[in-house]
A = this chain, B = another copy of it.
Amino acid sequence: MSKRINDLYQVKEKMYVATDCIIFGFDKGKLKLLIFKRKLEPLKGEYSLIGSFVRLDEDLEVAGRRVLREATGLENVFMQQLKTYGKKDRDPGYRCISVALYALIRIDEHDEELVEEHGAHWYELDQLPGLILDHDVMVNDALFQLKQNARYKPIGFELLPEKFTIPNLQSLYETIYQRDLDPRNFRKKVLSLNVLEKLDEKDKSTSKRGAYLYKFNEENYRKLLESGYHFEIA
């Protein structure tokens, strides 16, 4: 115990910077979050976001990508700064400021084994266990941000696999907004954006008739993002 107190004393002499990642995924019509059961002290066995200290010789953004890669095996993930959390007592062990990032990944592309190795699990949002420290707050803030962003950018697209159907996309938006959307209006709207390319394939996994698969036209998608387009789907 005296060792622990000593540790505390030492570490509070120094400022640490960490990044924590709020990793969203979308699967089977559910928005999910990747969270971790801690394998090490302190707080072993508790749930948390995944994070890491930022190394002295490492760019902040690089640290974020490193954490994501270590957790999911993915390299080119959509990632964005959320907010920096800096209450002096947010972590009882260290004086640590945390830059929270949120990431959107395609669940079907992540590396399952790597995920398992880190004691990670996908949880549906309404079944999340309590998280350590201020991680619950981070998740709430990230969700809010996700909703905001989904309004003004076609951001939800990052969460779908390469080929997807319009009902898939709609279901994603319904999950984010937490309400039903009209299928006719939704279709009209997304098609009017000119970022979808209809493929000659159908996905028959959810209906007998099957739904046409689409993919993004990268070019147009990029242009849309750049133009700061206002993407409200009501």
Residues of A that sit less than 8 Å from B by CB: 12-17, 54, 56-61, 63, 81, 83-88, 95, 97, 99
- Whether B95 pairs with A56 at a CB distance below 8 angstroms is yes
Smallest beta-carbon distance A88→chain B, Å: 5
Query: Are A97's CB and B60's CB within 8 A?
Result: yes
* 17 A–B contacts, CB within 8 A, in A order: A14-B14, A14-B15, A15-B54, A17-B86, A17-B97, A54-B97, A57-B88, A57-B95, A60-B84, A60-B85, A61-B86, A61-B87, A63-B86, A81-B84, A84-B84, A86-B99, A97-B97
Distance of A58 Cα from B60 Cα, bound (Å):
22
Give Cα A83 to B60, complex, Å.
12
CA–CA, A110 to B130, complex, Å?
44
A80 and B12 CA atoms in complex are apart in Å by 27
Residues of B within 8 A of A13 (CB): 56
